[in-house]
Amino acid sequence: MSISSLNTSPSNNTSINPSPSNSFASLSSKSSTTSLKEPKKSTATISIEEITSENPCLTCQSPCSIHPSYPSNLKINHEANLGGTVQPHARHIIISTGKSDWNKVIELDSGNLSAVLYEYLQKKRDNEDTKILITNSNRQNSTLPFLTFFSFFGNDILIYPDNLIVRNVSTGKVEEFYDQFLSNEINKKEIVKNEGYNFSTERIPYKAVILICGHKRRDMRCGVAGPILKNEFEKVLKEKRMDLYSMGNQGVPVYLTSHVGGHQFAGNVIVYRNGQGIWYGRVTPCHIQMIINKTVIEGKIIKELHRGSMFDDKNGQPTLDW
């Protein structure tokens, strides 16, 4: 995990990434039977025991006969408390790289956007106190996705909790990117209206985004668990007609990411939806149906899996539960 503190501290993606639109229309009954609900409370929680209808594996034997299982030699920490295991940060930067075989430490991957951005943030650490998490993802660029691998064209970056896509960010534009989107002096509500910069920006159109750590060169636990979870998430989303193929930009994409911390708690999953960022650990394929039904759709936190949360208070200051 690349936590840049402006005082701190197995395969390529095959998912569709249509060009984002500005449409925020609800998932309609004509195109899907599923719609996302606004959470009544940002901290609404639910226990696994309360979700028996969505979790047929509660009483099944291990290994599960219904869903894929992890290899028995995967050393997952099932004893430690998951709460408070996310390294604190106030922004999450997700770089679209179009691949999932990143080097072991992305902030030391010389010449790549993650490393150049990390280095610049370190230079600013004496002047800022905002902690920023940088991760790579296997998401492809929204425009000309076949050029995603060629970083000199620039990469899409997703920013949470600002809920922004910024396009054409190259290593040569890192300082400009920082000044417009990351500096504490900017007002995030005005970001999209700025016209004097060399970036194309708009609100993230997806109804939710699911991120799964799959950084196999960093730790084999997430390297094994990540692709298994990604396949199962995409399968269930397709069954519910919530995937990108069914819904376009109104769907829910699933991306593998580089290290987010806590490999001992694999599988590590982050759900961003409606101003919420919810981190889960020890996720297995048996949990996916309930995560989609209760977290992605309803915005509820499953407490047994919960590592931490970020909520956008709509006034420019995120509420953090790390």
CATH number at residue 141: 3.40.30
User: Does residue 147 sit in the same domain as residue 231?
Assistant: no
Give the structural domain span for 101.
2-9+89-203
pLDDT at 190: 53
User: Does residue 158 sit in the same domain as residue 249?
Assistant: no
Please check whether residue 28 lies inside any domain of the structure. no
Of 114, 40, 94, 53, nearest to 270 by C-alpha is: 94
User: Does residue 114 sit in the same domain as residue 191?
Assistant: yes
**In the block, which residue shows the tokens 């990540």?**
226
Q: Provide the pLDDT confidence category of residue 39 given band limits of 50, 70 and 90.
A: very low
Of 275, 285, 320, nearest to 66 by C-alpha is: 285
Average pLDDT score over residue span 258-272: 96
Longest dimension (CA), the chain: 59
Of 184, 183, 136, 178, nearest to 156 by C-alpha is: 136
Domain count, the chain: 2
**DSSP 8-class letter at 135:** E
User: Does residue 57 sit in the same domain as residue 111?
Assistant: no
User: Does residue 145 sit in the same domain as residue 185?
Assistant: yes
User: Does residue 109 sit in the same domain as residue 198?
Assistant: yes
Question: In whole angstroms, what is the distance from residue 270 CA to residue 92 CA?
Answer: 11
User: Rounded to whole angstroms, what are the CA distances from 313 to 54, 125, 181, 262?
Assistant: 30, 25, 18, 27
13: which 2 tokens? Answer: 């993606």
Please identify, among 203, 225, 246, the residue that sits at the C-terminal boundary of a domain.
Answer: 203
Question: What residue type is 178 in one-letter code?
Answer: Y
pLDDT at 126: 58
User: Does residue 219 sit in the same domain as residue 302?
Assistant: yes
pLDDT digits (tens, 9 = 90+) for 71-88: 888 999 999 999 999 988
237: which 2 tokens? Answer: 């989303």
User: Does residue 74 sit in the same domain as residue 216?
Assistant: yes
Outline where DSSP puts E strands in 90-173. 91-96, 131-137, 155-160, 164-169
Average pLDDT score over residue span 283-294: 94
Q: Provide the pLDDT confidence category of residue 55 given band limits of 50, 70 and 90.
A: low
pLDDT at 186: 55
Please identify, among 158, 182, 203, the residue that sits at the C-terminal boundary of a domain.
Answer: 203
pLDDT digits (tens, 9 = 90+) for 140-196: 987 665 555 555 578 999 999 999 999 989 999 999 999 999 886 655 555 555 555
59: which 2 tokens? Answer: 């009483």
User: Does residue 59 sit in the same domain as residue 145?
Assistant: no
Please check whether residue 31 lies inside any domain of the structure. no
Q: Is 254 helix (H, G, I), strand (E, B) or coil?
A: strand
Please check whether residue 155 lies inside any domain of the structure. yes
**DSSP 8-class letter at 31:** T
Please check whether residue 119 lies inside any domain of the structure. yes
**DSSP 8-class letter at 261:** S
Please identify, among 153, 188, 203, the residue that sits at the C-terminal boundary of a domain.
Answer: 203
pLDDT at 150: 55
Q: Report the range of poorest mean pLDDT among 1-15, 53-67, 73-87, 117-131.
A: 1-15
Percent of the chain with pLDDT over 70: 71
H helix intervals, the chain = 113-123, 174-177, 220-239, 244-247, 288-290
User: Does residue 116 sit in the same domain as residue 181?
Assistant: yes
pLDDT above 60: residue 235: yes
Question: In whole angstroms, what is the distance from residue 41 CA to residue 45 CA?
Answer: 9
213: which 2 tokens? Answer: 């750590």
Please check whether residue 24 lies inside any domain of the structure. no
Please check whether residue 68 lies inside any domain of the structure. yes
User: Does residue 125 sit in the same domain as residue 184?
Assistant: yes
CATH number at residue 56: 3.40.30.10
pLDDT above 50: residue 9: no
Outline where DSSP puts E strands in the chain. 2-5, 45-46, 91-96, 131-137, 155-160, 164-169, 200-203, 209-213, 254-257, 269-273, 276-280, 301-302, 306-312, 318-321
User: Does residue 222 sit in the same domain as residue 182?
Assistant: no
What's the chain's average pLDDT? 80
